[in-house]
A and B are shown apart, each in its own frame.
Chain A
Amino acid sequence: MIISELQTDAISELINIAFSRSAASLSDLTASRVDLEVPEVSVHPIANITAALHRFVKGDVATVHQVFTGPVAGDAFLLMNFDGAVHLVELLTNGEVVSKGLGASAREVVTEIGNIVMNACLGVFGNLLHVRFSFSVPRLSLDDLGVMVNSLIVDSNPMQHALVVGARFRLRNSEVTGCLVLVLGIASFELFLQEVEAWAERSLRGGANE
């Protein structure tokens, strides 16, 4: 599936809205400024996802996973390098959490970060599509990227596609890069893109809102 430049721009814009909400939530929680940027957006067949993910993460990764159901159904993932997750926890908790091995409290923090980012994104998409998603409880797994991707491919329908969104957290003069992945079935993806394009066109005409 190839997405047009307009669709890419529109998705980037929507993700930007979601990320700024996530960043605001994280800033509130930590009482210090957190920025969350979108370096790039791309779509890949699920079987070819590894190369796309390698642009953002490698080796051991911390993955927060949430299943969402509704008219557009799929899986949402926030992936970060293990070391990046450790660093992000240190930055967000001001070194309050002993996180060298991502202990229980640090894992909860990573899970809540993923939860905030994914809820914001799916909330924005839900408003766009005028549908209500149901979300599962967020779960964190710590695995090698290859193992994580294999489980994703094995569990997925080969027709599924993945929307891969870079996610760059910036705070306290440091940055941690990860990526948000939405895995959708072909029907969901087509509906999603259709709605995105409609939103973009409305937006270009100056009448769009979320």
Chain B
Amino acid sequence: MQSNKAFIENLDRLGAWGVITTDTKLFVTGWNRWLEQRSGKPAGEVLGRHIFELYPDLTSRGIDRYFREALEGRDCLLSQRFHKFLLPMPPSVSCTSLMHMQQTARLMPLMDDETVSGTLTLIEDVTERIVTEDELRKQAERLEEAGRHKDDFLAMLAHELRNPLGPIRNGLHVLELVPGDSTEARQTRAMMARQVGHMARIVDDLLDVSRIARGKVRLRHEPCDLTSIVRDVIEDYRPLVEKSGIRLVIDSTPERAIVRGDGVRLAQVVGNLLNNAAKFTNAGGEIRVTREINRKAKTVVVRVSDTGIGMSRETLSRVFDSFAQADSSLDRSKGGLGLGLSLAKGLTNLHGGSIEAASNGPDMGSMFTLVFPLSESEVRENTTVVDGQEPAKHSKRVLVIEDNPDMGLSMQMLLTHLGYRVELAASGTEGLDAARQFQPQIVLCDIGLPGRNGYEVARALRADPDTQQAYLIAQSGYGADDDLRKSHDAGFDLHLTKPVDFTELKRVLSAVPGDPARR
């Protein structure tokens, strides 16, 4: 026993191992300090007792055979993954999922010359490693799942982008065959416009999701009347919804609800909720939009509820995920990328608001609740604010600087048709000359211009007292963050990515006050 004690003390110096020795009848002859500390059993309490009496579960867990093998002269390794632990001891690392310290053990014969004189067990604490490995495994599973969702999403995206191409291509052929002013031509153009709009919306949604995910969305922070935004969005969607045989009801007082934010983006949030409700409500159903002001809580609440197909608990838990919806067969049957709700959540959060989804289950309808903080000053004063929706038509001068003649001409025609006074310039230099002469309130400027590019034009306009007050809108085929930053740095008020959504452009132009001295 004395020599065994010295042996154990020597092993103790080797490092962080638990060391047990037994005689050939498996009575414990050695129990090191490491084990005393971890197991809470002092050596005096353990020495001389049978190992299976001390730890009866060694037999019930089938580990007794390893002791027998050691007594027969064989070394045995007990891996953590197969056995978890040899002796039950508290975990060394705080981890809710583990009740015991995770161990790897080696059992071997204790040799006295050529004779087996007992067993030697070495126990290694591998808890930290196991916790790390398990975390890595979970992370790998999460990444794999995310990758799978993205693959599904890309497949769906390709499908969604290809869908409108067929009708557009057919439309082009039709337009070659029929007179330009015929009913067929008008119908075809309308159809092509719808399809292009659909594609543009997909691309815009994608870009928005990406920007929100990276925290790169720039919002205007100006007073907006949520009441009028909700009312306008409802009116925009009413034809679409009612055409599907769904009743659209608004339940709101005309009282203004002023929030600070970006009117266009707030409209997008409400529009996405309405679009979602319309998608999942069958003919004969109802969509109800309510707007409540809670002056005490200084919030405005918008609810979009429907009598549609509702959601299971599982669908509800991932309803705002960007890519998780890709596998929803239901969503697929209705088309679209399923990004609308994710965007609505991202944009709502960026406004300091919250969004919640609720449903009593499948076929029980759904309800989405938006809560936005009321603007402090507006809460105080309850003053009126510019709605920003109604254009001051027939009064604004717009300079279009665009080197692509077709693009420039069509933009000039469209804006003129809307009642703006429009001048067209085909280069940066020409644009600057025209600006000095024409004194536009709004300049719509391409970036890739010959001679002086759009950034140089913007800097020059800002530097000239005669033109520095103009509202400058950059138009570019590039919409990355870096492009937006460059436009902003050059002095542009807004950066629109081509092809420019005409509805959005109309909204932006109408929101620019006619008085150049506004700035």
B80 at interface by CB-CB < 8 Å: yes
Which residue of B74, B79, B106, B136 contacts A98 across the interface (Cβ within 8 Å)?
Answer: B136
Which residue of B73, B130, B137 contacts A133 across the interface (Cβ within 8 Å)?
Answer: B73
Contact digits for B91-116, partner A, Cβ 8 Å, 1 yes 0 no = 00000000000001010110100000
Are A137 and B72 touching (Cβ within 8 A)? no
Cα–Cα distance between A106 and B72 once the two chains are bound (Å): 27
* Residues of the B chain whose Cβ atoms lie less than 8 Å from the Cβ of A123: 69, 72, 74
Cα–Cα distance between A70 and B74 once the two chains are bound (Å): 12
Cα–Cα distance between A96 and B129 once the two chains are bound (Å): 14
B77 at interface by CB-CB < 8 Å: yes
Cα–Cα distance between A115 and B82 once the two chains are bound (Å): 13
Which residue of A92, A104, A106, A136 contacts B75 across the interface (Cβ within 8 Å)?
Answer: A136
A134 at interface by CB-CB < 8 Å: yes
A177 at interface by CB-CB < 8 Å: no
Cα–Cα distance between A112 and B75 once the two chains are bound (Å): 11
Which residue of A28, A109, A122, A134 contacts B109 across the interface (Cβ within 8 Å)?
Answer: A134
* Residues of the A chain whose Cβ atoms lie less than 8 Å from the Cβ of B69: 119, 123
Are B133 and A105 touching (Cβ within 8 A)? yes
B140 at interface by CB-CB < 8 Å: yes
Are B130 and A105 touching (Cβ within 8 A)? yes
Are B75 and A115 touching (Cβ within 8 A)? yes
* Residues of the B chain whose Cβ atoms lie less than 8 Å from the Cβ of A138: 75, 77
A58 at interface by CB-CB < 8 Å: no
Are B140 and A28 touching (Cβ within 8 A)? no
Nearest-neighbour CB distance to chain B for A77, whole angstroms, equals: 15
A93 at interface by CB-CB < 8 Å: yes
Are B130 and A30 touching (Cβ within 8 A)? no
Contact digits for B354-391, partner A, Cβ 8 Å, 1 yes 0 no = 00000000000000000000000000000000000000
A108 at interface by CB-CB < 8 Å: yes
Cα–Cα distance between A29 and B61 once the two chains are bound (Å): 10
Are B73 and A134 touching (Cβ within 8 A)? yes
Cα–Cα distance between A135 and B109 once the two chains are bound (Å): 9
Are B81 and A105 touching (Cβ within 8 A)? yes
Given contacts A98-B133, A98-B136, A137-B106, contact A108 B73 (CB under 8 A): no
Cα–Cα distance between A104 and B77 once the two chains are bound (Å): 14
A176 at interface by CB-CB < 8 Å: no
Q: How large is the interface on B (under 10, 10 to 19, 20 to 34, 35 or more residues)?
A: 20 to 34
How many A-B pairs fall under 8 Å by CB?
Answer: 71
* Residues of the B chain whose Cβ atoms lie less than 8 Å from the Cβ of A93: 81-82
B254 at interface by CB-CB < 8 Å: no
Which residue of B73, B79, B133, B140 contacts A112 across the interface (Cβ within 8 Å)?
Answer: B79
B78 at interface by CB-CB < 8 Å: yes
Given contacts A28-B62, A98-B136, A134-B111, contact A108 B81 (CB under 8 A): yes
Given contacts A123-B74, A134-B109, A134-B111, contact A109 B129 (CB under 8 A): no
* Residues of the A chain whose Cβ atoms lie less than 8 Å from the Cβ of B126: 104-105
Which residue of B75, B104, B108, B111 contacts A108 across the interface (Cβ within 8 Å)?
Answer: B104
* Residues of the B chain whose Cβ atoms lie less than 8 Å from the Cβ of A97: 81, 133, 137
Which A residues between 120 and 137 are near B, CB-CB below 8 angstroms?
Answer: 122-123, 132-137
B26 at interface by CB-CB < 8 Å: no
Nearest-neighbour CB distance to chain B for A15, whole angstroms, equals: 17
Contact digits for A89-106, partner B, Cβ 8 Å, 1 yes 0 no = 000110011100001111
Measured CB to CB, the residues of B under 8 A from A are 62, 69, 72-83, 104, 106, 108-109, 111, 126, 129-130, 133, 136-137, 140
Q: A104-B133, A123-B74, A137-B77 are in contact. List 12 more A-B contacts (CB 8 A).
A: A29-B82, A96-B81, A97-B133, A104-B126, A105-B80, A105-B126, A108-B104, A111-B79, A119-B76, A122-B74, A132-B72, A138-B75
Q: What are 21 A-B pairs with beta-carbon distances under 8 A? A: A30-B82, A93-B82, A97-B133, A97-B137, A103-B133, A104-B126, A105-B79, A105-B80, A105-B81, A105-B130, A108-B77, A109-B79, A109-B81, A112-B82, A115-B76, A119-B74, A123-B74, A132-B72, A132-B73, A135-B74, A138-B77
